[in-house]
Structure 1
Amino acid sequence: MLSSSGGHPPNPPRVRDVSELPKAHLHLHFTGSMRPTTVLELADKYGVRLPDALTEALTSGEPPRLRATDERGWFRFQRLYDAARSCLREHEDIRRLVREAAEEDLKDGSGWLEIQVDPTSYAPRLGGLIPALEIILDAVETTSRETGLGMRVLVAANRMKHPLDARTLARLAVRYADRGVVGFGLSNDERRGMARDFDRAFAIAREGGLLSAPHGGELTGPSSVRDCLDDLDANRIGHGVRAAEDPRLLRRLAERGVTCEVCPASNVALGVYEKPEDVPLRTLWDAGVAMALGADDPLLFGSRLAAQYEIARHAHGFSDAELAELARQSVRGSAAPQDVRARLLAGVDEWLARPPA
């Protein structure tokens, strides 16, 4: 097609490389951060028979077909996730996972990573709950020192388990706050377990100086986000996208300065939205809600951190200046110390000052 002047179509606008944009990664699950090749190698090492759907996805490079908007679909997603987690059996496997997660984040421009983990899931093979958390924290500390990536841990309770288990985890998380634990979360199917059932666990975590960062507003609607605010005094919301359905709730999030950890590829893969263009990034942006884009579980969803910024650019028309502001919001919403924040924010300004490629 010719332009109106009779010449060739104008060149697309020049843009900067989002993998070079300094940013913080605040929504990455432990097992879900693994490289596909690592899962396959560990499965072979330990004789683990992976589900055919998972093996096919990992070998083909195409994420498995998932749809978790009903209980059966969530069960299938969880089955694949549990199968991958069963390949983590020794200290060295944990160290490898953490090292590779850091390497992938560095390639995507991350300067700060808060990786989320429920240590009870790894305790049976790592000698118990406390040894499991200590092994994870040691791996994070060593990897951070050796790679230069700022890394911390967010301990997450499981909605599917008893609230007393969450209290135990909250106390443990507080105990290790000086070893790299910065927050406390609540994950798994948000249709199960009311937020208020876990209010005491989150009170323990907050009183111990940890961020409150529960999941909400993904598989259920705005009420889930309100519950996280009212019952758990959330500083951040894991996902939170369904808040877009309630303008009053959006205003409340913006006024309180709560950061939503938005994971566009994950939302589409799980069937929350049909296509990337449907994820309400613009709605949250226009309402002044702070966002931190995250990859969630790249092992199963097929894309890592920089790809989420590409979705914002190509599916929602975010300019480089707007992408830079998204990166700033991720840094401001993090638990990074002030010197790290200052360095990353200066890096964002430098990225934006460069001429587009």
Structure 2
Amino acid sequence: MPKLELHLHLEGAAPPAFIRGLAQEKKIDISGIFDEAGNYRYKDFWDFLKVYEAATSVLTSPSDYARLTRAVLEESAASGVIYSECFLSPDFCGGRDLGAWREYLHAIREAADQAERQDGIILRGIITCIRHFGPEKARETAVCAAETAGDWIVGFGIAGDEKAGKPRDFLWSFDCAREAGLRLTAHAGEWGGPDSVRDALNDLRVERIGHGVRAIEDLVLVDELAERGTVLEVCPGSNIALGIYPTWRAHPIGQLYDRGVKVTVSTDDPPFFHTTMTREYDRLADAFDWDAGVFETLSRTALDAAFCDSKTKTTIAKKLEAAHA
């Protein structure tokens, strides 16, 4: 079944073997972030952020990011993903220097174009500021986003520690991105409760919410999301791996879907959470008895919510129609 993924962190999707190999090439010792089986090792969400940044520290050049992009898209295509939007951070790509960011972006785009030719997967970028890096650095990131907005960089968002500051602290950055024509999303309702979702909607005026699942704790908010047509980029395997919910059956995506909220499915940082898009679909089918019709609805929702242009959407729609004919 062809799949669309709207919530994928490029560095977070790096296969552990890829990062280990790159570290060995550069003689950088980051062995402490891996367990005995060679997987990423972390204790909780905040430790996960540290491990994520340690893994990212070996990615130091545009060519590294080109190799990373190919490795990630190869994994995604193997799970049937035909369209992906990934989060990119100039913080990690040239330290928010615009000239350096352009070089990194060029390398990533070249690798993405190669993957599209070879594997048929289409990639677009959403630039994210890192919440726990603070509002001032977010402004620099927003400028990088505004200066490279176009047919490939299609969105702007915010990721990182939801407990660091408030959404309104980043209002300037989101206004800057909006004025540049970028579409907006924000991580909320993962570690923050329902109020974090409300704040992202009201203060930043985003059209999509990354995660957003803790909205289920406030059914008035759930109904509001349904009425507004706000799309949630839900990552069930991530939420379960990090301990937000104990099991797949306990995950609220089923309730949200049943109450009319527009939900999509993504992997977030797949190797960290031992998941793939295929596994997400399989586990959701098992947990909620979802059939092919439900997953087709999810794909249509993702296509409608995608930040890419109409020409790209037409290409994706034809692939979906051919698969579901």
**TM-score band w.r.t. shorter chain:** over 0.9
Distance 1:350 1:97 in 2: 30
Q: Which residue of 2 aligns with 1:185?
A: 157
- Runs (4+) of structure 1 exceeding 6 A deviation are none
Q: CA RMSD in A?
A: 1.8
Equivalent residues of 1:238, 1:262 under 8 A apart: yes
| Deviating more after overlay: 300-309 vs 342-351 | 342-351
1:37 is aligned, of 17, 24, 46, to 17
Q: 2:158 is paired with a residue of what secondary structure? A: strand
Q: Which residue of 2 aligns with 1:140?
A: 108
User: Which is higher, the Rg of structure 1 or of structure 2?
Assistant: 1
Distance 1:310 1:131 in 2: 43
- Tell me how far 1:339 sits from its aligned partner: 3.1
Equivalent residues of 2:4, 2:303 under 8 A apart: yes
Q: Which residue of 1 aligns with 2:221?
A: 249
Query: Runs of 5+ in structure 1 lacking a partner?
Result: 1-20, 69-73
Q: Which residue of 1 aligns with 2:26?
A: 46
Q: 1:56 is paired with a residue of what secondary structure? A: coil
Say yes or no: does 1:122 pair with 2:99: no
Q: 1:160 is paired with a residue of what secondary structure? A: helix
Larger RCO (alpha carbons 8 Å, 6+ apart): 1
Summarize the Cα distance change of 1:49–1:123 in structure 2 as closer, same or farther, 3 Å threshold.
same
Q: TM-score, normalised by structure 2?
A: 0.92
Distance 1:53 1:158 in 2: 21
The amino acid across from 2:6 in the alignment is: L
Q: Which residue of 1 aligns with 2:238?
A: 266
Equivalent residues of 1:28, 1:294 under 8 A apart: yes
Equivalent residues of 1:154, 1:184 under 8 A apart: yes
The count of aligned residue pairs is: 321
Equivalent residues of 1:212, 1:235 under 8 A apart: yes
CA shift digits 1:3-35 (9 cap, x unpaired): xxxxxxxxxxxxxxxxxx223211111211111
The amino acid across from 1:272 in the alignment is: I
Q: Which residue of 1 aligns with 2:59?
A: 88
Q: Which residue of 2 aligns with 1:14?
A: none
Q: 2:129 is paired with a residue of what secondary structure? A: strand
Q: Which residue of 2 aligns with 1:24?
A: 4
- Tell me how far 1:161 sits from its aligned partner: 2.4
The amino acid across from 1:120 in the alignment is: D
The amino acid across from 2:101 in the alignment is: L
- Tell me how far 1:312 sits from its aligned partner: 1.5
Distance 2:104 2:4 in 1: 20
Q: 1:271 is paired with a residue of what secondary structure? A: coil
Equivalent residues of 2:154, 2:308 under 8 A apart: no
List aligned pairs for 1:1-357, cutoff 5 A.
21-57=1-37, 59=38, 61=39, 64=41, 66-68=43-45, 74=46, 76-124=47-95, 129-148=97-116, 149-178=121-150, 180-353=152-325
Distance 1:136 1:152 in 2: 14
Distance 1:346 1:288 in 2: 26
The amino acid across from 2:70 in the alignment is: R
CA shift digits 1:261-292 (9 cap, x unpaired): 11111101111111222211111101211122
- Tell me how far 1:51 sits from its aligned partner: 4.4
Query: Runs of 5+ in structure 2 lacking a partner?
Result: none
Distance 2:187 2:218 in 1: 18
Q: TM-score, normalised by structure 1?
A: 0.85
- Tell me how far 1:334 sits from its aligned partner: 0.6
CA shift digits 1:90-131 (9 cap, x unpaired): 32211100111121222222222211022112325xxx6224
Distance 1:51 1:30 in 2: 21
Equivalent residues of 2:151, 2:308 under 8 A apart: no
